[in-house]
Amino acid sequence: MLLGPELVVVLGLAIALTSAVADRIKVAPPVILLVIGGLLAFVPAFGKVELPADAVLLLFLPALLYWESLTTSLREIRKNLRGIVLMGTLLVVVTAGGVATLLHLLGLPWGPAWVLGAAVAPTDATAVGVLTKMLPRRNVTVLRAESLVNDGTALVVYGIAVAVTAGTQQLTFWGVSGMLVLSYVGGIAAGLLAAWVGTLVLKRVHTVVLENLVTLLVPFTAFLAAEAIGASGVLAVVIAGLVVSQVGPKLDRAATRQQVRAFWSFLTFLLNGALFVLVGIEANVAARGLDLGQFLRGLGIVFAVSIALIVLRFAFLYTVGGSIWLISRRVGAGPREGHRDRLVSGFTGFRGAVSLAAAVAVPRMLESGDAFPDRGLIVFVTAGVVIVTVVGQSLVLPAVLRRAALPEDESIGEERRHAERTAIEEALDALPRLARDAGADQRIVDRIRTDYEAHLDVVAARESEDEDHPVLQRRDSVVDLELALVRHKSATVLRLRDDDEIDDLVLRQVRAEFDAEETRLLGGAEGAAGAPA
């Protein structure tokens, strides 16, 4: 059966349960979701769920990768471009080829071996973001950027392997070269075009709902446009996301940005969770389709491939990365990544949503009408590799970080305080002119100046890193009082609605303002800078 309403409800419950218990039992959420999916497969109603191959990539990957592209740091990508490009292209090809060779030695035909090798070759941006929160910002950004780039490379190799195995393409040097060029050039062009059209539309719409709709359509438009010409839809989505991350903030409004952040965070949270549950179901179904000998063989392949992925990653980091380090030393360029960074990077090659989506997207039938060879084994091994890499490497990572002793990254806090201070100082300089333009009298100007100067004192106090600074203590007292007042106002309008003195529509309109005020105050209480009161 295809996705039904019952499964949608069960997916939501599984995601909610996982969110509630993951931190308490110290198990990575993707693992719990895969286990839940595996158990659901024993329920007759869900044991025959079919995920349409083409729909898997379209429904899940554009949204997940677009949000990762929007929220990454383009500056850090530029600083570490050399390593990111090498890790996102050459390492993927080496990994896919190495795994395919291993699988062929273990008895798989070359076609399925390359499909499986390409499926497990890319690291996962979402898994990296969830499981590497303890890392310094630069390391996380580089890992996420690598994941975004290598998704496109891996899916190009994957597409070629599937097409050749299915009999829709011939494996020739010029044919493969043409597909690679088309995938990259066409993907980049489609991403740029979708981002350009999206920004043009954003300039001309002034309704929050329409602006949100445009941001939703951009990644799917980029993906479909690239796929329509045989290019990489994944690369198109990543390019579109990076462009919009730079241009979008200059076009949209505060209300739009607030809704976009909330919408995309929630959407990608649901999609990522649902994908792991669905693949857990598929993996169970695939495992039950294997006899005992095939199942044991599949387990052996899972552990062999998992070890091969780690070995290949370390070998690449210390050969190619070490060579670049030596060349950089000789030409006098300071290397961006040293031994400690490579040690950590070697243990952060998590596999996740992209690998799972690729495995499930393998077609069930060949052009000849025969079943795709070893499809069940491909799904089973891919799910197993994801579990092993997520569980095993996330357990080892804390010890690796202690061994690496990476320096703490204070740049974000420093840059944030610099941004706050500069913004307030320039606002104070512009206050007389803006007050004249707005027709504000001197009393209003004086009150606003006092508020902004008080906020500037708070920024200066935070820069001192003295948690007991009198200004910070006074600020906390003010925030606590203002929070209590806004919550009292919110309770008051709720009582007025209950007493039938105001309508539900009025309640929602007024409480929306109070909610925004409370959110701002809570941001200030947690250390983020709230706007001046």
Structure token pair of residue 285: 């179904």
Report d(CA 272, CA 269) in Å as an integer: 5
Structure token pair of residue 231: 């290019």
Helix (H) or strand (E) segment spanning residue 401: helix 375-404
Amino acid 56: pLDDT: 66
The CB density around residue 447, as the number of other CB atoms within 10 Å, is 11
Which residue type is seen at 262? A
Which residue type is seen at 104? H
Structure token pair of residue 34: 């895969």
Angle at 490 between CA 488 and CA 493, to 5 degrees: 110
User: What are the pLDDT tens digits along the chain (533 aa)?
Assistant: 455 677 788 888 989 988 888 878 777 787 788 888 888 888 877 766 666 656 667 778 888 888 888 887 777 788 778 878 888 888 999 999 999 999 999 989 998 999 999 999 998 766 665 555 667 667 777 788 888 788 778 888 888 888 888 766 666 666 677 777 888 899 999 999 999 999 999 888 878 788 888 888 999 999 999 989 888 888 899 899 989 888 877 776 777 777 888 888 888 888 888 888 887 887 787 788 788 888 899 999 999 999 999 999 999 988 876 666 555 555 444 445 567 777 888 888 888 778 887 888 888 777 777 888 888 889 889 988 988 887 787 777 777 777 776 666 666 667 777 887 888 889 889 988 888 888 888 888 888 888 888 888 878 877 776 667 777 777 778 788 888 888 899 899 989 988 988 888 888 888 888 888 887 777 654 443 333 33
Structure token pair of residue 211: 């602006």
Output phi, psi for 371, to 5 deg.
Answer: -70, 145
- Which burial class, exposed, middle or buried, applies to 524 when counting CB atoms under 10 A from its CB (0-12, 13-18, 19+)? buried
**What single-letter DSSP state applies at residue 72?**
S
Structure token pair of residue 19: 């969110």
Crossing angle of helices 353-360 and 254-288, rounded to 10°: 50
Report d(CA 156, CA 363) in Å as an integer: 16
Q: Quick one: fold of 5-404?
A: Na+/H+ antiporter like fold (1.20.1530)
Report d(CA 84, CA 143) in Å as an integer: 8
Q: What is the dihedral of CA 234, 236, 238, 239, to 10 degrees?
A: 160
pTM of structure: 0.77
Amino acid 114: pLDDT: 93
* Cβ-Cβ contacts under 8 Å for 9 (sequence gap 6 or more): none
Report d(CA 204, CA 211) in Å as an integer: 10
Instruction: Give 3-state DSSP helix, strand, coil % of the chain, rounded to 5.
Output: 80, 0, 20
DSSP secondary structure of 481-504: HHHHHHHHHHHHHHHHHHTTSS-H
Q: What is the dihedral of CA 60, 64, 288, 26, to 10 degrees?
A: -150
Report d(CA 462, CA 472) in Å as an integer: 8
* Cβ-Cβ contacts under 8 Å for 476 (sequence gap 6 or more): 525
Of 149, 187, 174, nearest to 65 (Cα)?
A: 149
- Do residues 251 and 208 make contact, with C-beta atoms less than 8 angstroms apart? no
DSSP three-state, residue 365 = strand
Report d(CA 260, CA 262) in Å as an integer: 5
Interval 357-380: pLDDT, tens: 788 888 877 777 788 888 888 988
Q: Go through the chain and tell me how many residues it has.
A: 533
Q: Domain locations in the chain?
A: 5-404, 411-465, 476-533
Of 58, 528, 86, 153, nearest to 320 (Cα)?
A: 86
Interval 441-475: pLDDT, tens: 888 888 888 888 888 887 887 777 666 777 777 77
DSSP secondary structure of 86-126: IIIIIHHHHHHHHHHHHHHHTT--HHHHHHHHHHHSS--HH
- Do residues 29 and 18 make contact, with C-beta atoms less than 8 angstroms apart? yes
